[in-house]
Amino acid sequence: MSRMVIIAILSLLFLCASAGCTGILPGQNNAGTLPDQTQYQPTYEPAGETPAVVQPQAYAQTSSQSSGGVNSISRMVIWAEPMDMGAFHDLDGLIIKYCFYDTNNRPVSFDGTFISMQISIHTPDTNRQKLKINPRQIYRGSTTITRSLPDEEYPLRGIWIPYTELTLDAQDRGIGRVHVKATLPTGVVLEAEERYIWPVT
């Protein structure tokens, strides 16, 4: 029993240290943009059951930053990456990344602005027997972000969704769609999603 308590405390300390250093917790993201500002084309992977991020469909854009701040945001792009914590399986999950653009497709950086993010995750439209089903919602939650993501690749920065919070059943193939609705301080509402087959074990 004491061994389990020690492992749990070490896991918690590791998570807190990671969160403090990398901004894993919602709302702890630094200013910046994506290396490749693109939107993912909705599609599903075939029966291979391996996580696969779809090849992005590029938008025409400039390399310069928008100077308009949050008030200039007109578009949002999201994508998700799996987080495997090795022996700490309770911490495994998805990190949802995001980037905002103005009307000229220039990335928008911000810091200290509160943007409400509502996240929903659904199953694919087929089950483990490859039969067509109505996608089922397996997660719904919300958080507030205050900063854009940085240029550099920080794998733990973004919105963390642990697999333990997904309500999957035995017939579900995994994650089929991630949908995010952002409400800006100006009242503008933006929505974006990514689709794929992402097994959760």
Bridge-based pairing of strands 137-147 and 56-58 is unpaired
Residue 177 is predicted with a pLDDT of 96
| Dihedral of alpha carbons 58, 61, 65, 71, sign | negative
| Average pLDDT of the segment spanning 80-88 | 77
Q: Tell me the two tokens of residue 24.
A: 């894993």
Is the predicted pLDDT of residue 53 greater than 50, yes or no? no
Residue 152 is predicted with a pLDDT of 65
Bridge-based pairing of strands 159-162 and 75-83 is unpaired
- What are the C-alpha distances in Å from 96 to residues 71, 81, 127? 23, 7, 24
The average confidence (pLDDT) of the chain is: 75
Number of domains in the chain: 1
| Average pLDDT of the segment spanning 47-63 | 45
The more confidently predicted of residues 83 and 100 is 100
Can you give the residue range of the structural domain that contains 47? 2-198
| Average pLDDT of the segment spanning 173-197 | 94
Residue 85 is predicted with a pLDDT of 72
- The pTM of this model reads 0.66
Is the predicted pLDDT of residue 144 greater than 90, yes or no? yes
The more confidently predicted of residues 142 and 82 is 142
Q: Tell me the two tokens of residue 134.
A: 């109505």
Percent of the chain with pLDDT strictly greater than 70: 61
